Amino acid sequence: MTTGCPAHADGAACPVSDRARAFDPFTGAYQIDPAAALAWSRAEEPVFYSPETGYWVVSCYADVKAVFRDPLLFSPCNVLEKITPFPDEAMAVLASYGYAMNRTLVNEDEPAHTERRRVLMAHFLPANIEAHRDRVRVLTREKVDAFIAKGRADLVEEMLWEIPLTVALHFLGVPESDMARLREFSMAHTVNTWGRPSREDQIALAHEVGRFWQFAGEVLNRMRAEPHGQGWMHEAIRQNALHPDIVTDSYLHSMMMAIIVAAHETTAHAAANAIKLLLTDGAGWRAICEDAALIPNAVEECLRYAGSVVAWRRQLTSPATVGGTDLPAGAKLLIVMASANHDERQFQNADSFDIYRDNATDHLTFGYGAHQCMGKNLARLELRIILEELSRRLPHLRLAEQEFTYLPNTSFRGPDHLWVEWDVAANPAEGAERARFEIGAPRRKDIARSVVVTAVQTEVEGVISLHLADPQGRPLPRWTAGAHVDLELDGFDRSYSLCGDPDEPGYTVSILREEAGRGGSRRFHAVTPGTVLRLRGPRNHFPLDEAAPAHLLIAGGIGITPILAMADRLKRIGARYHLHYLGAAEARMAHLARLSRDHAGQVTAHPRDRVPRADLAALVAAAAPGTRISACGPARMLEALQSLTATRPDLVLAIEHFSAGDDTDLADNRPFEVELADSGFTLPVPADRTLLQVLRAAGIDIASDCEEGLCGSCEVAVLDGTVDHRDKVLSIAERAAGTRMMCCRSRGEGRLKLAL
């Protein structure tokens, strides 16, 4: 066994710490909970050498993502290597079956990989995944029908392995026979590749894997005899005939074996993990029983919190530094996505399970970049439909008492059995399916929680404040000054800034009644205590830079709401600030009394019926260098501030708009191209489509909410090129920097390079 890390093989002080030495992914803590088992590493030693495995373990989000991002430096060539090398006898057994597992897609290097992926992509595009929806639904329904009257079931045995396997075989075009055999083959392949079998087991395993290899070859030969067969492997066979240099013979046989496992075991485990987690949590399960629209995000949060692929591998092609540790060329990496997914630097309260988390889709369970799971949208569809059927038909499901066991290996994780129970007499009447999920990443619009109005207060004529709380009395998520929430009621959907006390468990919003509006504010003005609303957020695209030497706060009319929260915060931290509040009539300016009570001496009110109109030019001229101006109010006021500050580069202007306006003439749209640096693709964006639409259709996960350039959900990082910014999120300085864009509305000139 290695006694020190290979980088210090010369006998110099070896940095292998006791915990690194004790790390064993085949037993104990890692098998029970890989993220918890590596909490120490995330905190203290983000990259460490594990003598037990001979791998460098990478545990933090940014490092794992950086490794995925660069397939040239971090080659995937070792992804399907046996992590426990076989003894000669077992290798001889494998050879007797002609076993020659080679490159597929997942372990292929560039440029061969991207060429291959490109010609084999079509079946995986969201538009083509649609064709599998009905089959998944029917299969799931049949399985639930078969056990719904029993009151107790092992969901793994009764449905969770068979649905993904049947769907996978259909997707691939492989005949649906010998299913039980295939399941056993898959388990053998997993232990063979990612496990630590004993010496005796290795021989039996070698026979099983050899038989799987032969089976895959026979299926392939039968499929070759059907030139017009349907399914992805048939397509691969046709591409093999058309481009034998890109889709090679060796690829076909290896892929046939690998994909059967990739397409079903991953999804079966993910479903079992998700149901176990939701039932343990209770609140998450109740929420999806009440509102099926939450299921897509619940699935992402389950994949983040307890994913089915917990670690993957890469090998360094030249020396590099990862997470501050210098690694030699040839170093083998075990990149632990389960640990990265619990990294506090990426996910707030990472160890708590929260189906409303709005960046859950950032999890790395599907990998990332050029090799990111091609089947992710098929898997998502299956997981969503399984959860929808179970939560609708068996909302009273509970976990039975049981000890969970897992197949010991580094990478694939899901319980061998999942016993659940329910009271058959309480089974609800069969209702219609509650949601038809879109293909792709969840929409942020669906991540809405119910809140109840606890009080309605009239501030001034035409302005009310609503106090909102969680119906079960739990604290709502924390927020910071400048944050807003979106409220939905009776088809109306409006954004309102939060203006209460951030330490309170509930929220306060103030709403102006707009007679000329489309009716949203009038509807919200009619609510009474006890009304239940849907709420999204909070989100903050108007954050305070607390480090600024001085703050000038400017509010116009109801724009006072985020500004009030900012003033409260600045007072609390002892910052220098002054607030100017502009309004048409004193009697209609909300929160004036509170301002003069809490911010005496720091507020100047400018009611136009009492004092001359505020002189914005004078305010800007008097601002000391370095002052941060935060402004919210009517578009004319904001435009005036933008032009007044244009000649004062020493000031920072941050503004919050309430509507997108319609300053964009769609007839001006010109086509452009985007190069996706991490995925290795270039996509054309035609004049009549948004960048968001084009990215989604290509299977890239992009969140969105407003799709009007207002909310900031769809932000992407720009590496190169000129952006035609059409959003209301970025400040002038941020636009000028050209490193971020909102892809729902903004476009490019010529060609853009994005970090996607």
Query: What residue ranges bind ligand FES (CB under 6 A)?
Result: 704-707, 709-714, 727, 729, 742, 744
Choosing among ligand FES, ligand HEM, none, which partner's interface includes residue 171 (Cβ < 5 to 8 Å by kind)?
Answer: ligand HEM
Q: Which residue has the tokens 């929160």?
A: 591
Characterize the bridge pairing of strands 55-58 and 332-335: parallel
Pairing of strands 747-754, 715-724: antiparallel
The interface partner of residue 68, options being ligand FES, ligand HEM, none and the CB cut-off 5 to 8 Å by kind, is ligand HEM
262 touching ligand HEM, by CB under 6 A? yes
- Nearest-CA neighbor of 591 among 573, 564, 613, 618? 564
Binding window for ligand HEM (CB under 6 A); candidates: 44-52, 189-197, 277-285, 308-316: 308-316
117 in contact with ligand HEM (CB under 6 A): yes
Query: Among residues 629, 293, 587, 652, which one has the least CA distance to residue 449?
Result: 293
Q: Of 80-88, 185-193, 363-371, 489-497, which part binds ligand HEM (CB under 6 A)? A: 363-371
Output the DSSP codes for 457-524: EEEETTEEEEEEE-TT-PPPPP--TT-EEEEEETTEEEEEEB-S-TTSSSEEEEEE--TTSSSHHHHH
Count how many residues are written for the chain. 756
Looking at residue 751, the DSSP 8-state letter turns out to be E
Cβ within 8 Å of residue 663, ≥6 positions away: 726
**Rounded to a whole number, what is the largest CA-CA distance in the chain?**
96
Of the two residues 269 and 725, which places its CB atom closer to ligand FES in the complex? 725
Candidates 266, 341, 497, 645: give the one binding ligand HEM (CB under 6 A): 266
161 near ligand HEM (CB under 6 A) = no
Of 206 and 378, which has the nearer Cβ to ligand HEM? Answer: 378
Within 124-231, where are the H helices? 126-129, 133-147, 155, 162-172, 179-194, 199-224
Residue 328 beta carbon to ligand FES: minimum distance, rounded to whole angstroms: 44
To ligand FES, the closest distance from the beta carbon of 489 in angstroms equals 20
Taking the complex as a whole, how short is the minimal distance between the CB of residue 412 and ligand HEM, in angstroms?
Answer: 9
Contacts of 156 (CB under 8 A, 6+ apart): 268, 272, 414, 415, 416, 417, 418
Q: Which of 263, 350, 619, 700 binds ligand HEM (CB under 6 A)?
A: 263
132 binds, among ligand FES, ligand HEM, none (CB under 5 to 8 A by kind): none
379 binds ligand HEM (CB under 6 A): yes
For residue 265, the partner it binds in ligand HEM, ligand FES, none, with Cβ less than 5 to 8 A by kind, is: none
Of the listed pieces 193-201, 368-376, 434-442, 470-478, which binds ligand HEM according to CB under 6 A? Answer: 368-376
Residue 46 touches which member of ligand HEM, ligand FES, none, C-beta under 5-8 Å by kind:
none
With beta carbons less than 8 A apart as the criterion, state whether 682 and 756 touch. Answer: no
Contact partner, 101, from ligand FES, ligand HEM, none, Cβ < 5-8 Å per class: none
Q: Which is nearer to ligand HEM, 25 or 506 (CB)?
A: 25
Q: Which residue is nearest to ligand HEM (CB)?
A: 375
Q: Does 270 bind ligand HEM (CB under 6 A)?
A: yes
Q: Of 736, 596, 726, 753, whose CA–CA distance to 670 is shortest?
A: 726
Look at residue 379 and give the partner it binds from ligand FES, ligand HEM, none, a contact being a CB closer than 5 to 8 Å depending on partner kind. Answer: ligand HEM
Q: Is 312 in the site for ligand HEM (CB under 6 A)?
A: yes
Distance CA 231, CA 250 (A): 19
Strands, E assignment, 657-703? 672-676, 681-685
Q: Which residue has the tokens 């692929």?
A: 309
Unique residue bearing structure tokens 């029993």:
150
Residue ranges that bind ligand HEM, judged by CB under 6 A:
68, 76, 105-106, 117, 168, 171, 262-263, 266-267, 270, 307-309, 312, 365-369, 371-375, 378-379
